[in-house]
Structures are given as structure tokens and as C-alpha cells.
Chain A
Amino acid sequence: MNKIFIAAAAVVSSADLPAARLGPRFGRLDLQSRLALLAVASLKINFGGFARDRTGICLAASAGSLTTDFNFWQGRDSVGGPSPTLFAYTLPSSAAGEIAIHFGLTGPNLCFVGDDKNLLSEAADLIRRDEADGCLCVFCEVVSAEVAKIISSPPAATACALFLQRMNLETGVAISGSLHELQEFDRDMKSRCALISRTKSAG
């Protein structure tokens, strides 16, 4: 009885950022971290129901941290040097770090560069191996106009997130939200997020 469920899903874009209120230092985060954090906040998960060290984060960034890399490097000749803050975000894992800090999550983290095809299975695997009871999956697509020209990709500024959890077998009670069972063949996280978040707003 090793069923894993998708408890909630959300899709956000840069258009959602101005209305976001996620602490006084939210403005310091780079675009990718802000989108990732907003996507997770939009899940409205009460993490208090989980042990902090048993909640994992699996994140993938389609273009690594290239947008922030470019922005950091643009500032290399400015008086006083390039921004130390920006340098801290020239890593795709910094977005996961910000999520961990904001929600106090100390469990295992996995961060990938590339598409969303591995996230669900890796997150589910963390739960099945008993390294976590719940796991966030976050997929970021952040490509600025300048970087789009360099890597011949379309510009993008979106993130989606979902939360996988083990069902509490004793109580049979879901911890939050409506539950969708994770299927073996579930690979396309992005479409799953879009589908679930659309269903939620319609229902």
C-alpha cells in the first residue's frame, strides 16, 4: 500500500509577482527564486502537518540559472564590482534554498537542469525510500530576452509546483487539498499542474 498522492498544484508567471507578499526580503530574490517561491506559496500547504526534516524539495530549471548569470556578469565592470547578492543566485539550487528557508524545510533536496520529466518520479522515489513523507516538485522556466538570443530558446518567466505526499494510512485522512493519485506513467509535471490547478479553480 505505497500510494502517493498529488495534494495540490499551482502555475505562476511574472504577471503574478507584483501582488505577491512573501516577506520584506522577497525583492532581494532573483526572478527564478521569486517565481519558485510564489508557486510553492500558491499551493497553500500547511507544512506544520509534516516533520520539517521529512519534507523534500525536487526542483528543475529549464535554463539553469542563465538569466541571473547574465545579469550578474553584466554588472562586472560597475563601480564597486558586480553584485554579491546576484552571485548567490547564479545557481539553480538557490531557488530551492529560498523555498527551504521560507517554509523551514530541512529534508532532502534534488535540483536538476533540464525538463520536468524526472521530477515526479524522483520525488515519489524519495517518499518510497522513506527519506521523506512529502515532497515539493518545482519546475522553473526563466529565460530573459538577452539569454533567449544566446541559447536560441523562447523567452519565459513561469514556474509550476505541486506537492506529493504519502497517504496517512492509519487515519486515511488527507493533510490538505483534494488528492489525485500519482500514476506510474505520470511524467509530464507541467501539464499535470495546469490540469489540476484549472480543475481546482473551476470546481
Chain B
Amino acid sequence: MRESRVVIAGCGAISAAGCGIGPLYAALKKNLSGLRPLEKFDSPRFQSKMAGAAPGIFDDENPAWFLAAEALQQARESARQILAEIPAERTGLVLATTKANIAALERISENRPCSVIARRHLQANLLAEDLAKNFGARGPVQTVSVACVSGLAAISQGEKLIQRGEADAVFIVGVDCLSEFVVAGFSALKALDPAGCRPFDAARCGLSPGEAGTAIVLVRENFAADGKIKIRGFGGSNDANHLTGPSRDGSGLAQAVRSALKSANLPPDEIDFVHAHGTGTSYNDAMESLALKTVFGDACPPVIGAKGMLGHTLGAAGVIETICCVLAMQNDFLPGTPRLSVLAEGAPKSLLREPRFGVRLKNVLKLNTGFGGMNGALILSHE
């Protein structure tokens, strides 16, 4: 990444924090948790009922479209003036998702009604195509699926499309839905916390699933007014260790962070806060703590995590958690870490339980890791 030329022009979200950026911002300021026990996961088949569900009237057959379209509509609206100057042919779309409209597979398997469109959106690339067509993106379209790093990878891809001159605006859309498929899967791996996830907590023992539709509009900076937030750097790596377990020493994630800092041309001490991946599993949070120690030594900036609020939104996580960073930077505050009570031994001492207001933030680091040894680190900068 040479000198950054890509800024964030707008966002949208629907998640356990509510529908819209306003409710998300309010929830961050109040450090709320959106995790609730859900009746539909109350069965011996599932290890936990606790989940982060998005509100509203769903299309049971195609929740992926519902969430993605809602978020993209919000994002496009919030960037309306800027987008008015950019033709559709110069507008691209990158979709981040792990399971797209997996609801269709569940319904087909039980001979329940499933529309042609719902079935079509089982294929993530067709969901991306239709979102692009419906929302006026006639430029390049990509569908990224890198496990829980999908969101950050999609933002990086959007930045590249603009940097390479292939587009002037790119819609980054992240979506994953709560499904029996995913909850059954994590239950089979015994990876859920029956009490709901508690990132970096001494008593943590698993994650909580979440769902979200979320979108960010990236534009070439000359289209935007001053004072926007830039995509400053990105780094990715693979642990090359185990399919579902992170490398124990955190070296892969540390490498991704170093790569991001290099591309951003920033030393570690200029990072003002870190939004961690923080799933609440024993392994992830321990590994992340080690990675942060490797990169920052004893001078770790404040660290926060939003999964206690939203649950783990999988493919959407990188996008909605980046929006949390954006809200923090735009409003001069550090969010907290909902559902964290007692800090785990070995966790960074700079972990924030509660929000802190009146803090000017310039450079922010967002981390995500995923199955398959995937690691991603994104750096945002505010002028």
C-alpha cells in the first residue's frame, strides 16, 4: 500500500445492537450487550442459547439478502452526496461472507418452501452480483470468503480496486446470519460459552454466535471532503499450524500486524487503540494477548472488543467492528469491552472494560483471525 488514497464515505449496519448506525453508536457509548437467550437454540443439539440476533421482520427464506440490503441501503444513503458524483460503472462491490444464505440449505433439506432467489443466494457470488445490480454498482464485483477475516480482507480488496484505478467507489458489504447450521457446527466443536461470550475474561470459555448486515462505502479521497477516515494499511498472514486452533505463540497474527504497520508506514507506538478479535474462546484470546505483547511489548495501547455486544458475526465481523472503530474516531471516544468483568491473566493490562470519552484518536488497529490459520490486521487513520 503506497500513500493511501481511499477514505470511508459512509456506513450502515443492522445487528444485535439494533438497526442503523445511531443505535450502534448509542450501544457503544453505553457499553451494552446485545446477546440474549434465543428459544430457537433451546435444544440438546445446541451447546448454548445465547446469541446476538438482529431486530426486525425477517424474510425467513432469505435473511442474508434482508440484512445485506438493509445495511447497503443505509450506507449508500449516508454517502449520497459523494456517490452522486461517481457513475455506476466506476462503482464496485466486495462482499464478505462465510455462509451467505445458508438458510436455503436448511429449508431445502427439510422440504420447506424456498424461493428461487433464496436458493440462488446460497451461492455467495450470486448474492454479490445481485446486490451490485440492485444498488447501482456496475464496476468490479468480488466475493471474499476468508473465514472470520473476510470483512477486513474485503475492505483491503476495496482499497486495492480504487488504488489500482479500477473503481472510484466500492461498497464493502459484510453479512452472515444466525443459523442452526452455524450453531450446530460450533456446538460440535464445543466452542460456545453457555453463559454468553466474555472476551478476555478470566472465566471465558467460548464464543457466542451473532448475525449482522453491514456496509462501508469507500471512495477515492478526492471525492470526499476533508477530515475523513483513511484506509491506511493492511496485512494478512497464515499461522500454518492447525485448521481450527491458532498458532499458540501468536506469531502469525503478530506478523500480520507488522505487515500492516509497514504498509501504513507507522511505528507501533503511533497506534492509539486496538480493536481486538476477542471471541471469548480460551485459545483465541490467549493467542491474541501474546501477539499484542510481541508487537507492543509493555507499551500496549488501549484494547477493546465488541463481540460481547454483537456476538461473533463471522464474515461480517471485520466490517461492523471496523465501523465501531470509525464511530470511535469520529466521536473522540474509546469504546469498552462489554461482558468483560475480571481480566484474564496474561491479557493486556490496557484492556478497557468501560468506555472513555474525550479521547482524540488518530491511528487505530483492527484485528481479526479465523479458521484455516487466517490473520488480518487493518489500520485506519484520521487526519
Q: Could you list which residues of chain A lie within 8 angstroms of chain B, going by C-beta atoms?
A: 52-53, 57, 61, 63-64, 66, 69-70, 72-74, 76, 81-84, 87-94, 96-98, 100-101, 103-115, 118, 125, 129, 131, 150-151
* Contact, CB under 8 Å: B239 / A112: no
* Contact, CB under 8 Å: B374 / A97: yes
* Contact, CB under 8 Å: B105 / A93: no
Which B residues touch A97, using CB under 8 A?
238, 243, 371-374
Q: Which of B184-192, B280-288, B340-348 faces chain A?
A: B184-192
The residue in chain A whose Cβ has the minimal distance to the Cβ of B94 is: A112
Q: Which of B119-127, B214-222, B351-359 faces chain A?
A: B119-127
Asked if B102 is at the interface (CB within 8 A of a chain A CB), the reply is yes
* Contact, CB under 8 Å: A94 / B259: no
Q: Which of B123, B185, B255, B371 contacts A64 (CB 8 A)?
A: B123
Asked if B210 is at the interface (CB within 8 A of a chain A CB), the reply is no
Which A residues touch B374, using CB under 8 A?
93, 97, 109
* Contact, CB under 8 Å: B146 / A100: no
* Contact, CB under 8 Å: B238 / A64: no
| Count of CB-CB pairs between chains A and B under 8 Å | 158
Question: Could you list 9 A-B pairs, sorted by A, with CB under 8 Å?
Answer: A64-B123, A82-B185, A89-B243, A91-B145, A97-B371, A97-B374, A100-B372, A111-B144, A131-B259
On whether A112 and B164 interact (CB within 8 A), knowing A88-B371, A100-B240, the answer reads no
Asked if B70 is at the interface (CB within 8 A of a chain A CB), the reply is no
Interface residues of A, dominant DSSP? mixed
Give chain B interface residues in 171-191, CB to chain A under 8 Å. 180-181, 184-190
* Contact, CB under 8 Å: A88 / B244: yes
Asked if B236 is at the interface (CB within 8 A of a chain A CB), the reply is yes
On whether A66 and B188 interact (CB within 8 A), knowing A52-B240, A81-B45, A93-B147, the answer reads no
- In the complex the two chains form, what is the Cα distance from A89 to B147 in whole Å? 10
Which B residues touch A73, using CB under 8 A?
105-106, 109, 181
Asked if B74 is at the interface (CB within 8 A of a chain A CB), the reply is no
* Contact, CB under 8 Å: A91 / B147: yes
* Contact, CB under 8 Å: B240 / A92: no
Interchain nearest-CB distance for A198 vs B (Å): 28
Asked if B379 is at the interface (CB within 8 A of a chain A CB), the reply is no
The residue in chain B whose Cβ has the minimal distance to the Cβ of A56 is: B236
Q: Which of B119, B145, B259 contacts A112 (CB 8 A)?
A: B145
Which B residues touch A98, using CB under 8 A?
243, 372
Which B residues touch A101, using CB under 8 A?
240-243, 373
Give chain B interface residues in 232-264, CB to chain A under 8 Å. 235-244, 252, 255, 259, 263
Asked if B98 is at the interface (CB within 8 A of a chain A CB), the reply is yes
Which B residues touch A131, using CB under 8 A?
235-236, 259, 263
Asked if B370 is at the interface (CB within 8 A of a chain A CB), the reply is yes
Which B residues touch A66, using CB under 8 A?
105, 122-123
Identify 6 new A-B residue pairs, CB closer than 8 A, beyond the known A81-B45, A108-B238. A73-B105, A83-B188, A84-B189, A88-B243, A104-B240, A110-B153
Which B residues touch A72, using CB under 8 A?
181, 185
The count of residues in chain B whose C-beta lies closer than 8 Å to any C-beta of chain A is 54
Asked if B21 is at the interface (CB within 8 A of a chain A CB), the reply is no
Interchain nearest-CB distance for B92 vs A (Å): 12
Give chain B interface residues in 273-316, CB to chain A under 8 Å. none
- In the complex the two chains form, what is the Cα distance from A112 to B243 in whole Å? 18
Interchain nearest-CB distance for B134 vs A (Å): 18
Interchain nearest-CB distance for B281 vs A (Å): 14
Which A residues touch B102, using CB under 8 A?
69
* Contact, CB under 8 Å: B122 / A93: no
Interface centre among A52, A53, A57, A61 (most CB of B within 10 A): A53
Which A residues touch B45, using CB under 8 A?
76, 81
Give chain B interface residues in 93-127, CB to chain A under 8 Å. 98-100, 102, 105-106, 108-109, 119, 122-125
* Contact, CB under 8 Å: B146 / A53: no
The residue in chain A whose Cβ has the minimal distance to the Cβ of B315 is: A91
Interchain nearest-CB distance for A21 vs B (Å): 20
Asked if B368 is at the interface (CB within 8 A of a chain A CB), the reply is no
* Contact, CB under 8 Å: B238 / A100: yes
Asked if B142 is at the interface (CB within 8 A of a chain A CB), the reply is yes
Which B residues touch A76, using CB under 8 A?
45, 180, 184
Asked if B160 is at the interface (CB within 8 A of a chain A CB), the reply is yes
- In the complex the two chains form, what is the Cα distance from A118 to B142 in whole Å? 8
Asked if B82 is at the interface (CB within 8 A of a chain A CB), the reply is no
Interchain nearest-CB distance for B254 vs A (Å): 11
Interchain nearest-CB distance for B362 vs A (Å): 24
- In the complex the two chains form, what is the Cα distance from A10 to B290 in whole Å? 39
* Contact, CB under 8 Å: B181 / A106: no
Asked if B266 is at the interface (CB within 8 A of a chain A CB), the reply is no
- In the complex the two chains form, what is the Cα distance from A52 to B240 in whole Å? 10
* Contact, CB under 8 Å: B185 / A93: no
* Contact, CB under 8 Å: A112 / B144: yes
